[in-house]
Amino acid sequence: MATTQTFTYRHSDESVIDHLIPLPLTAESDIFEVADHCAALASILIESDDSSSRTALCERLLHALRQLRELCDADLPPHILAHLIQGETLTSCMPDCWQDTAPQVDYALALVHAILGGTLPASVEKELAGLLHDLVWLLDEFVKEPYISVH
């Protein structure tokens, strides 16, 4: 009989934040792992009302987005290439004008810096956090889309 491992969290933002903030992103983390981590951080960010937690999440997200930005220009390892080889033609989650990942990561970084600036009205900060969340989730999906043609 197979057992399934499940992860449990207390029903509070703090417990999720306490778990997520220290999760290591190593130099060996691949682009998929880093994109997933960014999406998790962005999801918790929009749910957090505590100023110190939001700051910690933004700082961690900056670190992860910078790592994602570096990976956009790096050679892809074989296991990632194998995933990205096109089978059937898919419709991308991104419009044709946004088919380069690096500028999208730069937009996300700019949004995090704006949120961290602490000079925006709370309502604007909340809307920018929502935009950041949506952009990061699109990035997470986009970096995993098959796009390499087999010759």
Buried b (16+ CB within 10 A) or exposed e, 43-58: bbbeebeeeebbebbb
Q: Given this model, what pLDDT does residue 18 score?
A: 58
Q: What is the mean pLDDT of the chain?
A: 82
Q: Given this model, what pLDDT does residue 79 score?
A: 84
pLDDT digits (tens, 9 = 90+) for 20-72: 555 667 888 899 999 999 999 999 999 988 888 899 999 999 999 999 999 98
Percent of the residues in the chain that have a pLDDT greater than 70, as a whole number: 79
Whether the per-residue pLDDT at 109 is higher than 70: the answer is: yes
Q: Given this model, what pLDDT does residue 22 score?
A: 57
- What is the average pLDDT across 4-25? 51
Alpha carbons 134 and 151: distance in angstroms, whole number: 34
Q: Given this model, what pLDDT does residue 87 score?
A: 62
Distances in Å between the Cα of 61 and the Cα atoms of 20, 100, 139, 148 are 11, 20, 13, 28
Q: Which amino acid is at 16?
A: V
Whether the per-residue pLDDT at 141 is higher than 50: the answer is: yes
Instruction: Check: pTM over 0.85? Answer yes or no.
Output: no
Q: Name residues whose C-beta falls within 8 Å of residue 56's C-beta, 6 or more positions apart in sequence.
A: 17, 21
